[in-house]
Structure 1
Amino acid sequence: MSVHTDGGLAGHRVRLDTEMERCEQWPADSPWLREAFAALPRDRFAPDRLWRWDGWAYVPLERAVDPDVWAGAVYGGVSSAAITQLTGGIPSSSLSAPGVVADMLDSLRLEPGHRVWDVGTGQGWTAALSAWRAGPGRVVSSEVDEGLAAFARSRLAAAGLDAEVVLGDATRTGVPGGGQVDRLHATYAVEAVPWTWVEAVRPGGRIVYPWGRLGYVALTVAEDGRSARGWVHGLARFMGDRHAPAQASSGPAAYAAARADADPEVRRVLDRDPAGLEDWGPRWAVRVAVPDAVLFTRQGPEGPVVLVHDGDRSWAEVRPGDDGRPVLLQGGPRHIGDEVLTARAQWESLGRPDPYDYGITVTPDSQWAWQGSPDGPRWPITQPALA
């Protein structure tokens, strides 16, 4: 526990509990989570320095300087994460949003006595919640950052929990100590599931992990142990595996770097307005079909402008034309704008499914996303190349 007293934190804890109830974020099938949140409040796993974006840069929030502002960042809301670490000026660790933590652990279907591999310890909060449910000596957690691992160990010990934190890269190794686990819970995003994760989980066990920073998936390992599959369970943004190939950044600067002031090679008037590309349905369809496409919208003088790039040299934009009809501009080695529009058209032809109508199958040799059922339309999943 922190050297600081709880002070006014009790009020923040009550407000979070109330907001979780009002927003129906306490899972009905896992009532233990509400008890665990109360027994292990997230402030006890928060470092004394947090970070907040001020519109220009990340600025520190020091508990010793302004404990109320610090507490407000820890308890920002059901859907608010608290940034706990920067690396090179970019967030590299956080306390995940309470609603996401509750939903992912509910998706894990965790029971007392289960052996759990918590992948990506961070500050240790999810390992603590898992240990509260599974029991003493049933949770092992892997963390690649030595400082975070030491911090998590101290907080778990202060909470009186018997959970092991091991320094190591879980994306490239098996379960610390060997054997198999009943449940694997990952806290950072991967594009392709390491096969070692599937091998680490017993047949019938569960793997819950963030997929590509946009959502999270719950897989069940097949009885023969030679595959795992399951559905999308939630939508949220996640930090990626630190040692995986880099994913392209979003925002105007990344788009400008990809375009590099190049003139468009293609200019075409569209027969329909692609508005709404950032809505969850088409956005997920683009994410599945064109996984390296980074898409965002900014407001131009004539209306919204959709910008797309691949983190390399291909780019596109859709903007209002002089006559009001949308115009597609694109350039680079590939026509990524056409790829995005094709993905949206396919999504419409499938009946505009929502993200929860998609799933993933993983085998030793390949993995793919599918829509509707494992035998439905499918899209290959590959590890992205270095950006």
Structure 2
Amino acid sequence: MSGDLVGHRTHLDAVLDRRGVWSACASWLREAMAALPRDAFAPDRLWRWDGRAHVPLDRATDPVEWADELYAGPDAAAVTQVTDGLPSSSLSAPAVVADMLDSLVLDPGHTVWDIGTGQGWTSALAAWRTGPGLVVSTEIDEGLVVLARQRLAAAGVDAEVLVGNGTRSVPPGGPFDRIHVTYSVETVPYEWIEAARPGGRIVYPWGRLGHVALTVAADGRTASGWVQGLGQFMADRCGPALVSAGYDGYAKVRGSGEPEAEEVVERDLAPLAGDWDLRFAVRVAVPDVVVITGRDEDGVNAWVHDGNASWAALSARGDGSAALYQGGPRRIGDELLTAWSQWEANGRPTPYDYGVTVTPERQWVWLRDPDGPRWPIAESTERGGAPSGAPPLNLGS
């Protein structure tokens, strides 16, 4: 497609319409995205991955490629900042932005805390719905704060942007009716629950595979809600150290050691490469597992690690079985296979069958009912890169 921005906007609107994104409940989002298009918030330099590194695309010298990158597709984020060779900010994928704001159930008059301002686009869309002066956004990067303020002012949007670490501090203006988060966390900071009104809603990316909508209980002390969809997000900058989810991360954990356990398992590994219901279930049951897949003439192979000291390799044998090699203090391959069997025994649930509950003392994931099967939430090491064959990457705004 050409660099014609009007054409790009029209095409994106039509694609989202065909998907059914513009439901009756989300009709305001269609109007807001038309009034406040993503190109109004994009910087003059974007970054494109060429297979080896992120390369710059400048609007002034290459407007066609710049626009094509910005509107690469409904599931494509546009990288707007690269630090030490890695993306550190972006304009979120349009479909994910629409899904998360729809999940927020925004109404006129709601007060909103938008955590992780980035380019200011989600703050602007939220303010379009709620009204002037009702959205406050926090961003840890002072340079992004300056640029977001400029873009919001140029678009005529009355929303406040403050420098702050949204994971650790709460801005003035609360308690808030709605809290919207644009970067992933494994454990919900309890300050978010305290910052929301009873009955308020918190939509946030959980780990690197989905986003959740919590509703705060009437007593204001707990919150619970369902997984809303799949997507991958940039992690909290102040969270645990990033661990590569690519093969090099596995190689680093394994080192040069020989396997400590070997066996043959009767499993065709193909679902690990493409069944995201299974991958989500594994992520729930073994939250620190990193799974990388690849294919050869014998089928799909998998390399698994915990980002620390335990690893497993599953090598397809060409007959529907696989050789399992493991090393380290944990048998992480066995843990993955147990989670897989558990998922099958539970009727192969989808991500939409899971939910999260947060209390002052603990947090857990549950299946189908808050009182049903549950798994404790622990800090995950699955950070820093999409596994092979991953769903579209959304880096957060």
TM superposition score normalised by structure 1? 0.95
Counterpart secondary structure, 2:288 = coil
| 1:207 CA displacement | 0.2
| 1:271 CA displacement | 2.5
Q: 1:376 to 1:98 in 2, by over 3 A?
A: same
| 1:221 CA displacement | 0.2
RMSD: 1.5
- Asked whether the equivalents of residues 213 and 236 of structure 1 are also in contact (C-alpha less than 8 Å), the reply is yes
Partners of 2:366 and 2:201 lie apart in 1 by: 19
1:186 pairs with 2:181: yes
What does the per-residue CA deviation read over 1:204-251, in whole Å, with 9 as the maximum and x for residues that have no partner? 010000000210000000000110000000100100000011242211
- Asked whether the equivalents of residues 288 and 381 of structure 2 are also in contact (C-alpha less than 8 Å), the reply is no
Hey, what does 2:267 align to over in structure 1?
Answer: 272
Q: Which runs of 4+ in 1 moved over 4 A?
A: 384-387
| 1:14 CA displacement | 0.7
Hey, what does 1:94 align to over in structure 2?
Answer: 90
| 1:296 CA displacement | 1.8
Partners of 2:44 and 2:76 lie apart in 1 by: 18
Partners of 1:243 and 1:297 lie apart in 2 by: 29
Choose 298-307 or 180-189, whichever is displaced more: 298-307
Hey, what does 1:67 align to over in structure 2?
Answer: 63
Amino acid in the other structure paired with 1:242: R
Hey, what does 2:392 align to over in structure 1?
Answer: none
Counterpart secondary structure, 1:29 = helix
Partners of 1:91 and 1:28 lie apart in 2 by: 35
1:198 to 193, 196, 199: 193
Q: 1:259 to 1:111 in 2, by over 3 A?
A: same
- Asked whether the equivalents of residues 243 and 381 of structure 2 are also in contact (C-alpha less than 8 Å), the reply is no
Counterpart secondary structure, 2:24 = coil
Partners of 2:318 and 2:175 lie apart in 1 by: 62
Partners of 2:155 and 2:55 lie apart in 1 by: 29
Q: 1:322 to 1:384 in 2, by over 3 A?
A: closer
Hey, what does 1:299 align to over in structure 2?
Answer: 295
- Asked whether the equivalents of residues 27 and 102 of structure 1 are also in contact (C-alpha less than 8 Å), the reply is no
1:263 pairs with 2:258: yes
1:382 pairs with 2:378: yes
Q: 1:323 to 1:106 in 2, by over 3 A?
A: closer
Partners of 1:52 and 1:118 lie apart in 2 by: 27
Hey, what does 1:209 align to over in structure 2?
Answer: 204
What does the per-residue CA deviation read over 1:246-268, in whole Å, with 9 as the maximum and x for residues that have no partner? 24221111111111122111110
Q: 1:386 to 1:282 in 2, by over 3 A?
A: closer
Partners of 1:324 and 1:366 lie apart in 2 by: 41
| 1:28 CA displacement | 2.9
1:362 to 345, 358, 361: 358
| 1:87 CA displacement | 1.6
1:333 pairs with 2:329: yes
- Asked whether the equivalents of residues 248 and 292 of structure 1 are also in contact (C-alpha less than 8 Å), the reply is no
Number of aligned residue pairs: 380
Counterpart secondary structure, 1:31 = helix
Partners of 2:343 and 2:309 lie apart in 1 by: 26
Structure 2 residue runs of 5 or longer lacking an equivalent are: 384-397
Amino acid in the other structure paired with 1:366: R
Matches within 5 A, 1:113-132: 113-132=109-128
| 1:269 CA displacement | 0.5
| 1:317 CA displacement | 1.3
What does the per-residue CA deviation read over 1:159-211, in whole Å, with 9 as the maximum and x for residues that have no partner? 1111000001010012x115300000000000000000000000001000000
- Asked whether the equivalents of residues 69 and 78 of structure 2 are also in contact (C-alpha less than 8 Å), the reply is yes
| 1:385 CA displacement | 7.4
Hey, what does 1:141 align to over in structure 2?
Answer: 137
| 1:272 CA displacement | 3.0
Counterpart secondary structure, 2:325 = strand
Q: 1:31 to 1:323 in 2, by over 3 A?
A: closer
1:230 pairs with 2:234: no
Partners of 1:103 and 1:225 lie apart in 2 by: 25
- Asked whether the equivalents of residues 108 and 208 of structure 1 are also in contact (C-alpha less than 8 Å), the reply is yes
What does the per-residue CA deviation read over 1:341-387, in whole Å, with 9 as the maximum and x for residues that have no partner? 00011111111111100000000110000001000100001234799
Partners of 2:123 and 2:167 lie apart in 1 by: 17
Amino acid in the other structure paired with 2:350: D
Amino acid in the other structure paired with 1:179: G
| 1:80 CA displacement | 0.7
1:281 to 277, 287, 294: 277
The answer to which structure, 1 or 2, has the higher relative contact order (CA under 8 A, 6+ apart) is 2
Q: 1:178 to 1:23 in 2, by over 3 A?
A: closer
Partners of 1:189 and 1:126 lie apart in 2 by: 15
2:315 to 296, 312, 319: 319
- Asked whether the equivalents of residues 248 and 294 of structure 1 are also in contact (C-alpha less than 8 Å), the reply is no
Amino acid in the other structure paired with 2:145: A
Partners of 1:27 and 1:90 lie apart in 2 by: 36
2:169 to 173, 197, 207: 173
What does the per-residue CA deviation read over 1:127-146, in whole Å, with 9 as the maximum and x for residues that have no partner? 00000111010000000001
Partners of 2:320 and 2:99 lie apart in 1 by: 43
Hey, what does 1:40 align to over in structure 2?
Answer: 36
Hey, what does 1:79 align to over in structure 2?
Answer: 75
Partners of 1:203 and 1:247 lie apart in 2 by: 34
